[in-house]
Amino acid sequence: MIPITDPFRAFTDLWRWSARLQEAWATARLDPASIQRLQAQRLAGLLAHARRHSGYYRERLAHLPEGVPALSSLPIQTKTELMAHFDSWVTDPAIRLDEVRSFVADPSRIGEPYLGRYAVWTSSGSTGRPGVYVQDDEALAVYDALLSARFPSADAVPSPFSTLATGGRFAMVAALEGHFAGVVSWERLRRRYPLMALSTRSFSVLAPLRTLVAELEAWRPSVIASYPTTLLLLAAERRAGRLRLRPRALWSGGETLADVERAEISEAFDCPVIDGYGASECMQIAFDCGCGALHLNSDWAILEPVDEHGRPVPPGQPSATALLTNLANRVQPLLRYDLGDSITQLAEPCACGSPFPALRVSGRRDDILKLTGRDGRERQLIPLAVATVVEEDGGARRFQVIQTGQRRLSVRFETPEGVARATALARIVEALSGYLAREGLDGIEIVEDPDPPRADPVSGKLRQVLGLRASAPSAPLAPAAADAPAAPARR
């Protein structure tokens, strides 16, 4: 059992969540104009707080008049710019980047509150430049409340409340080895509430597929939450009869879920697949209504679809990127932050009747690798597992693993500062070889590709893991920009 670290804090967090939950339910009954007015009030409060307590924003917004200027007049922010000014960006002077980095370097502290009151998570992202995100109590309460309140209303879709109330079990299959947003949020709740810890378990995507299947079979979860690529592999195991679970629902996140993949997964498990849209910068951006669309939590997030020049994109047209303003988190304010995802605002109202704007999202999506072992059997590898091994064990931050044959991988990477390239390559090869051997794929050839990591020529996004077909010579990749705005990091 995971003990409560602070009973009083657990009580106050529960009270805060309950208040935000009631508020989220009430807001969902408002009309769009009323929600927009609420959004404007929260934006005004965030701007005032940022100007007063963030040295970075005080300087960046000094040229603007007092009050609430038009959102479009605010400068666009990038991760690189904000991270370069981290200590003056945050609004609590006790937070220092060097100390935060020491905190997140220790995996045993995943889920532990930083300075006793903040959640901290990281995302290297496709730019290869690590982002560090600090969330205050109010932001965490908002994220938890939105996850609980905004849910598909279909009778076949169990809510988190009903699942827990009826003794259901939750399973999260994810990259557990780092301070990633989903993992930290999950472990934070498990640390805080022992009853929840009894009904939830985490499973690593780094585990061999056969091991993961056996562990899930033993746990018998009612709900499984994971990445679309992982759910696809589990669906294949279900069809083959090696996984016999009958969950009531599957939660998908962290990657783009295509309609055809949702149907494939749902058919294999004979249960609904619930999608969601969040990022390290804002955990709950949009929710699945159950009618084929995502709806922006516009009472707590502003998402501006823009073209490559930062100009607004009309409904029905895919954007080059999206600018996020997070209205919930005040310890690390995000105003017009270049999130990197291409989104499309739907021109027609959604059939569900929700007052929240409907949209579709095109984020980064890596490939499932299909390698052949010495025994001639094909084994499929979860791309996020491969990327995690290269990042956490291989020490690389900006890289691509590309399948070039049935038993051959090539690696593109930027050499870490202060490290000899041969040393960096040897560390990556050792990390990958160890992971592949655990998957029954010993002896896979891993070679260096001297080219730098390259972006997709169509989307402009850096994909970290490319399958055999995706790396075909007929589709050459263009060099990625140093701070590619269209490269989200959603973990």
DSSP 290: S
Write down the pLDDT at residue 114: 94
Using DSSP, state whether 139 is helix, strand or coil.
helix
Residue 187 is assigned to a structural domain of this protein: no
Model confidence over 321-341: pLDDT tens digits?
Answer: 999 999 999 999 999 999 988
Same-domain check for residues 349 and 378: no
Model confidence over 254-278: pLDDT tens digits?
Answer: 888 888 899 999 999 999 999 999 9
Domain boundary among 347, 362, 377: 362
Write down the pLDDT at residue 190: 83
Write down the pLDDT at residue 275: 92
Write down the pLDDT at residue 486: 29
Same-domain check for residues 296 and 438: no
Rounded CA separation 225/451 (Å): 36
Task: Residue 424: give its domain's CATH number.
Answer: 3.30.300
Write down the pLDDT at residue 155: 56
Write down the pLDDT at residue 178: 83
**pTM for this model (two decimals):** 0.83
Parts of the chain with a pLDDT under 70: 1-8, 124-129, 153-156, 158-159, 161, 363-364, 456-461, 469-491
Task: Residue 93: give its domain's CATH number.
Answer: 3.40.50.12780
Here the contacts of 211-220 (C-beta below 8 Å, separation 24 or greater) are 212/173, 213/237, 213/242, 213/243, 216/171, 216/173, 216/243, 216/245, 217/243, 217/244, 217/245, 219/169, 219/171, 220/169, 220/245
User: Strands, E, within 328-415: which ranges?
Assistant: 334-338, 342-345, 358-362, 369-372, 378-381, 399-405, 408-413
Domain boundary among 323, 342, 362: 362
Write down the pLDDT at residue 250: 95
CB atoms within 10 A of CB 465: 25
Rounded CA separation 491/272 (Å): 22
Domain boundary among 332, 362, 392: 362
Q: Show the domain range for 394.
A: 369-479
Same-domain check for residues 357 and 407: no
DSSP 71: G
Write down the pLDDT at residue 457: 57
Residue 239 is assigned to a structural domain of this protein: no
- Which strand ranges, in their side-by-side order, compose the sheet holding 321-326? 301-306, 321-326, 334-338
Same-domain check for residues 449 and 382: yes
Total number of domains constituting the chain: 2
Same-domain check for residues 151 and 20: yes
